Amino acid sequence: MKKVLLFGTFDILHMGHIHLFKKAREYGDYLVVSVARDINVEKIKGYGPVHKEEERKEILSYLRLIDEVRLGYLNDPYQVINEVQPEIIALGYDQKVYVDKLEEAITGFGLNIKIVRIPSYNKEKYKSKKIRKYIEKMV
């Protein structure tokens, strides 16, 4: 069984996320999604998520495209890689955080993992930051 690991915040679920899950799933038989912790979302994005980490995890657990959902680690974003030991790590088209040391972490674990980038899906419409701004205007 070929495992694929995907990281993200997945705060305001939208069709861009569904596209990401579908495309990541094409690389393997078993898709594991690691959901960013609230405190890390705040550090990375400069603002907290709309939905708390447990809510985001639960929402994703209902999607048939995903086989396993876990929360990321507070201090070591790479620890989940060693635990899951995927054959593939799928990254979103705009994912930049923790990517710079990803290959180093993989090598440190003694693993041989292919890293793939998933292309965007209508990024002018389906981008969490844009959706969030739209929602904030309405409230």
Active-site hit among 2, 22, 23, 45: 45
Question: pLDDT (tens digit, 9 = 90+) per residue, 90-118?
Answer: 999 888 888 999 999 999 999 999 999 99
Q: Is 123 a catalytic residue?
A: no
Q: Is 3 a catalytic residue?
A: no
Is the per-residue pLDDT at 59 higher than 90? yes
Give the per-residue pLDDT at 131.
56
User: Residue 45 and residue 50: Cα distance in Å, rounded?
Assistant: 12
Active-site hit among 2, 22, 43, 123: 43
Per-residue pLDDT averaged across 79-86, rounded?
A: 97
Is the per-residue pLDDT at 26 higher than 70? yes
Question: pLDDT (tens digit, 9 = 90+) per residue, 32-56?
Answer: 999 999 999 898 888 889 899 999 9
Per the structure block, which two tokens stand in for 80?
A: 């989940």
> Of 75, 72, 60, 69, nearest to 32 (Cα)?
69
- What's the alpha-carbon Rg for the chain, to the nearest Å? 15
Give the per-residue pLDDT at 119.
93
Q: Give me the chain's average pLDDT, please.
A: 90
Contacts of 82 (CB under 8 A, 6+ apart): 109, 111
The domain limits of the chain are: 3-138
Contacts of 124 (CB under 8 A, 6+ apart): 130
What is the number of alpha carbons within 13 Å of residue 49 lying toward its C-beta? 21
User: Residue 38 and residue 1: Cα distance in Å, rounded?
Assistant: 31
Percent share of the chain, pLDDT over 70: 87
Give the per-residue pLDDT at 116.
98
Q: Is there a contact between 117 and 89 (Cβ–Cβ < 8 Å)?
A: no
Give the per-residue pLDDT at 62.
97
Looking up tokens 């999604």, which residue turns up?
A: 33
CATH of 3-138, one of 3.40.50.620, 3.90.650.10, 3.40.50.2300, 3.40.640.10: 3.40.50.620
Give the per-residue pLDDT at 44.
84
User: Residue 127 and residue 108: Cα distance in Å, rounded?
Assistant: 33
